[in-house]
Structure formats: C-alpha cells, structure tokens
Structure 1
Amino acid sequence: HLGDNYPMRPQDQGFTESLIHKSGGIGQSPDQPNSYLNPKLWKNGEVFQSTGYCTDVFFDAALEFIDRQQQAVKPFFVYLPTNAPHTPLEIAESYWKPYQQQGLDETTARVYGMITNLDENIGKLLTHLDRSDLSEKTVVLFLGDNGPQQKRDTGGLRGRKSWIYEGGIRVPCLAQWPGHFREGEKINQIAAHIDLLPTLLALTNTPRPERLKLDGVDLSPLLTGGKEKLPERSLFFQVHRGLRPQRYQNFAVVTERFKLTGYPGTFGNENLMLQAEPVLELYDLSVDPGERKDVLSKHPETAKTLLEQYEAWFSEMKTTRNFEPGLIVIDREQENPSVLCRYQDGSFQQGVSEGWMVKIVRPGLYRVKINRESGKPGKLTVNWQGKALHEFLKNGESAAEFELTAGAGLLDIWFQAEGEDRVYPGDNSPRGDVVITQVK
C-alpha cells in the first residue's frame, strides 16, 4: 500500500536491496495472477521468479543479505514485513490440517498454519544470528500491524482489524538484544509504532537530523532498565479508508488509564454524517481492557480533556501534513515503463476511479497500453492537462501512442467501446490498469 512507482519504491527510499511484492498483497492487482507458492516478486526493481513458499522466500533472502553484510564487515538494517498471515489463506495442508483436527474451522486453521510457518522462520532467523555470532550485536524487534481480519479469538479484547477498539489496534511487540535488554519481562506502559525510530536511533547512537521532527519517544530506557516509567502522554489513532480523513471518524486517544473513542465502527464510511455532538465512548483500560463498560458519564471532564487533545492533534496533522499521497513521477530515467494500477494507486471520488495524480518529467511520445476485457473496437482516451486526446483501437488492440507534455496533475486514461458508455471498474482487478512507456 506504500506505492509501486517511483519515487515510492523501496529502492527510491534508501534501501540498497529490496525483494517485494506489489500492491497490498500477493495476488492483488496489479500483482495478478500470482500465488503464495513460487510467487513472482520484484528484486531491486526487476521481475524475480522465486521458488518456495512466500514467507520462506523472504526470510531466506534476509539471511543471505545478513551474510553478505557480515562478510563485508558492514552493519545491516533489515525490514522484513511478511505478507502472511493474510488472505488469500494459501498454506500447505501440513500446516493447517492439525489445527482443523483439533476442532477449528478451516479458515482459522489456515491462519494458524501461516503463523506456525512464520514462527518457524523467526526461529530460523534467531538461530542464524546465534551461529553467526551476531545475536549480541543485533537488535531484533517483532511487531504486529493490526488485530485479526477474520473472526477468531482476540484474548478478550473487543473488535478486530479496522476497529478502533483494542482488538483492532493493540498488537504484540517483542524486543531482543542479549546482554542489553531486560529479559523475560513485560513492560506495562503504552507505546506505538511511532516510537520505534527514536528508539533505534538512540540504541545505535545515530544522531537525528535537525530537520527531522519525530512524534514518538525513545523507549530504550524501558528496554534496558534505565527507567521504570516514561512521562505521561496521549497516543492518537484514526482508522479510516480512503485518502481524505474526516475529523472524529473512527478515532481513539489512549493514555495509561483511559481511552476515548469517537464514532467507532465507521471504518470505510467515506460519507459519514457527523452528528451535532460527536459520538464518544470512554473506557478505563486499567480495569476494563476489554472495553465492555462505557464510563463517560462518570468521567466527563476526562472525556472533555481527551477530546480537546484529539481536536488539537487533528488540526496539527491537517495544517502540517498533506493528506494527499505523493505524486507518481513518470520519468524514463527512473522507471520506464510505469505501471499505473487503478485499484491501488488511482485517485477515487465516491468509489469511482478518476485517474492518477502524476508528474510527467519529460515531454515526448508515449505508448499507452490499457488492460481491457472487451475486444471490441473503440476509443482510447488520455485526458491530461485539460486536453483530451483520442486514438481509435481496432478489435483486440489495447495500445496507442500519444504526445504528452511535461507537468503535474490528474492523468485520466480509459477505453470506451463503440456505441457504449464509459465503464468505471471498481473491483480489485487489473481492469483499467495502464502501462505507459516513453518511446522518444
């Protein structure tokens, strides 16, 4: 979901080596057709046909990278976010069948099988660090991204993925650094993903660039035992869908004791109608981590304070950050051709794709190829910089050439069959995807 085009790719963001799948997951558009077994991946920007199960492939590549860095006597940083467990729930029967035999439904059994495979790979990684004499020189962090997607046990927590309740946003975080971190201890203090960067900077004695403002805090005193507690603070969360967040939608403010939620359960509602007074709930997590009892009526001043903090935070986010995603830069010196994925990277209004926000660096002749199901003749249209360009496509044709100017803005491209209205695909498929290549 971070963007498949320049300058959003890992190799554009500072990684010297990368092995990735595209889009939001293996098998999602434009990464179709694909499979968790022997997946087609991208290695340093080039197509790479892997062999094996996806999680195994990613971990093996990480170990090879670590070995090369060690042999070159160089430090290393490995970011290893696996795509599993995640739908589609593809995993060998030997992993999920034992869980089904214990009475679990097949869906849950497959998720647990994926976790078992992930656990094996983490064990392989830790063993490799031990055997390579790297364990005491390596900080290992394991972090979940969200609660479960499917309905299954959440350890008594309320909600799941996309919900602002604890079952949706509270995840495991494990830290290992033998000889440096306190071992076998649970730290009962709130923290978030925004704390990882300042923590790693502190642990590695890496100075923070003056221009870089960080929202998180350094957790290293808690990990090493230098401190038992950090100063009180509030953490802010908002989980919506789409590119334009709305004030109060599916938000939470979390403190050491209390948690305020607003309009819970409204993820995905891009047309949320706000009420005159925000829909709020307050929970005392110190005695009610499962968020079963709303105590707002007993602590109205606490709710008022946390709501004011949220409003100030949202206003700051809105004024200091651009909510719109970065432009896709079409530049043959960086990426040629560029694949424009309608579903993942298109600009949407009310669920309808209206094109892509791009910057074309160099004027010239471009070959535009569109993924279309219809083999009928019709018109391929490129709407750019306020000018609509048309080329007629015969039966079965899918590409034409256009002279495009340099500039930035909305690039809309579509095919319209003769005698038919324009079709606006809305599904997670490659229909409407475009490959654009600068010819000269």
Structure 2
Amino acid sequence: MQMLVSRQESDVGPVQDFISGAVVTGQQTTQSHASIDCLPSLEVAQFDFVIQGVVSSITTSSTPQADILQQGNTQFLARKRVYLNGETILTQKSMVQVMPNQLVTGAHARPTPLPMLNSLADRIAYKAALARLPESNLIAGQKVINRLQPEIDAKIDANLADVNSLIHQQVWIRLKSWNVMPDYKATFSSQERLFWDYRLGTQPLAWATPTQETQPTLPSSSVFVPDVTVRLHESLFESVASRRQLGGKTVSLNELREATDRLLLLLAEEVPAELPGLPLAITFTFDTHQPLRAEARENQLLLYLRGTFQAGTLPKTETQEIRLQITGELTEQTFTIKTSDITVRELQADGTLATPGITQTAIAAQIRTNLQPIEIKRELRLHEQLKQTLAIRLSEVQSDKGWMNLQFTANQAAPGPVENRIPSPKPTLPEAPLITPQFPPN
C-alpha cells in the first residue's frame, strides 16, 4: 500500500490576493509527500492518508503607504481517514494542521518630499510589519488550510469513488450474477497490515483470531514478511460448486479442454500446442452429492470430482470419483501448475471406492492427455504513473492443513526526480499545530 500511494509532488504558482487592505503578489511553491498510516481496529479496517509538506512563498504586500517584502515557509500535515467495510471504501473529511513562519525581508515606504526622511520611513514601515507578524502567520496558516483541505478531499474522494465503481462493476456484480456473493464480509487492521475476511456461509474457520493478527510484529532481517498474503480454504471449492449448482450438470472433455485453453490465454506465459479432438464424444455428468471437493495438504491440492462418464451412445458408467493431484513449481519467471497424478475409482454401493480397473485406468489416461501444465507469470504490473512502476510478484505458494497460502512481494522502480523551482528546506513536522481548521458554528 505504501508503494502504491507514496509519491512526491511539487507545484509552483502565482500569488494574487487582497489581505487587510494590501494587494499581495508573488510566487509560491507547494511541496508534498503522500503516504498511509494503518490504524489498529478490530471493528473495521482503517487507515489515514497522510500528506505532509511545506508551502514556500516570496510575496510583496502593497499599500498606499509602503511595499512590504516577505518570505514564508508554512509546514503542514494533513490526515484523511479511510474505512474499508469489505464492500465499499468510505472516507471522512480531512484535517489539516499547519505551522506558519513568515519573515519580513524588507520594507519600502512611499517617497516623501524630503529625501532625508525616506530611510526613516522605511524603518518605520519595517517595524510596523514586524509587529504584525503574528497576524500575518495566522492569516498565512488559515489560507493554507482553506486551500489544501478542499483540494485533498476532492482529489482523494474522486479517486476512491472511481475505485468503488470499478470494484462494484468488476467484482460484486459478477459475483452476484454467478451466485457466489460472500455471505460474510469483515475487515480489520493492525499498525502494519490490512485484513479482509470473505466467506461463503458464516461458519467460522480454524484460523488466527483478529486479536492475534492485529498485534504488531517486529520482523528481523532473517524473517521474510510478504507484502500481500492470500489465504484460500479448501471448502471454497465445494461451496462454489454448491452455489453454481454443479451437481447434475453434464460437460464434455472437449469443453473442459476449451475452458482450460481460455484460462491459458488470460493467464499463461505460453499456450501449449492444440491437441487433436477426441474421436468419440465423452461426457461427464457431475453427481448430485459432493460433485466437487478439495483437500489442501503437504504443498499439494487434491481435487475430487464425482460423477458418471458416457462415451457416445454407450451406456453410462457407474459413479466414478476422479482424484487430481495438483502441484505447483516456481521458476524465475513463471509459476507452473501441474497435475502430477490422476486416479479414477468406482464408487461402490457401500460408499467405498473400488480398486481401479481397465475402464478407470483408460479414463485416467485420457484425462491426463488433455490436462496440460499451466504456466502463469509470477509478476503482475499494477500501474505505470509518474515515472514509477509498481509490480506484485508471487514469492511463495504453500498448501497444508486445509489452507492454500499465496504470498506476494511488491516491487517499485525508483521514482524520477521532482523538479523544484524554488529551493526549500525539507519539512519538519510540527509536534503540535499552531493553527487548526476553523469550522462555522452549527
């Protein structure tokens, strides 16, 4: 998240204002850095967008009596709270704190009929400007708050509204149309991480409690901590099969192969050569009881498909159970998914599985021929913007005790240099604000 959000910006613009009877002109530069700050919460995941920086200005305030030259450096710290309820992203109004520091660098009074008095008039104007510095700081700080607060709110709210719309269209509408909308949605956060918990059904799963997960961790150099972890429970397969009403549906082996090819076109590094079609149409009808289930154990995934086969116009077989032993292998560039073993066994009347016979062995051989390894790129590029690239890379795949764990690391190229037309010191954040937002009474 830090890599996705973190960025530095520099904006230069003119100053044109009218303050306390003076016409103010000049130039100002706003330098800012954005990041996020995760907040511990067991109720709903939340974090703050943190924007900190400095507004540097060189101005001239002109009145009928004198021109006052000033240089200002106003440090600011803005925080905008974001809530993640598992379905939409919600925000609060930003809060901006500032620490203004205005300096009077010169004063030029209007010329008098007596030239010898001009220098004295300049000194009087200079001292008068110094006396008004507290008021100048107050005005400068409030000006920064009035400008930055709506800008920050508008920019972040617009971006998150686009994200909400994209998630709604690409995720929730599709899941609802597929009848696999989660029944349970929960989020929580620690000082370091954000957590999402989605379930088909509300049955609790044997997993770490939120209290354990939200405790801060202190990773050492010898302990690998992934940037993103995705945990999938083996019951997901059976739940999806039930929601999609897989029981009783009939598919052909050719259709299964075409579906695999479509998946390869979307995800695979390389699509295998096209295989010849089967000489005889073979169909598989899923059983109404446990048509699909899975077991995740010892770094492998076991898929069980239960149903009957039919070749052409020949009679259907008895109920068979297909066991696919699926393993994964990480190479430098790809993640390869292989079906390392296939067994087909007939379900007997007493519920036990018979030893594979000639028919079952032939079916297993035919399925093995049609299941090709799938090679998926390990690295997915998320976005390219502002001379920086963020990519997420699959670093480890684990499978055991009913859970499949996918671990990812994020990588980002160094951002390009930020152009600063007016040099300004690196901002030091105020420990306590001198000026806070002013809200009208209710």
Band of TM-score, shorter chain: under 0.3
Q: TM-score normalized by structure 1?
A: 0.28
Name the structure where strand makes up a greater proportion of residues: 2
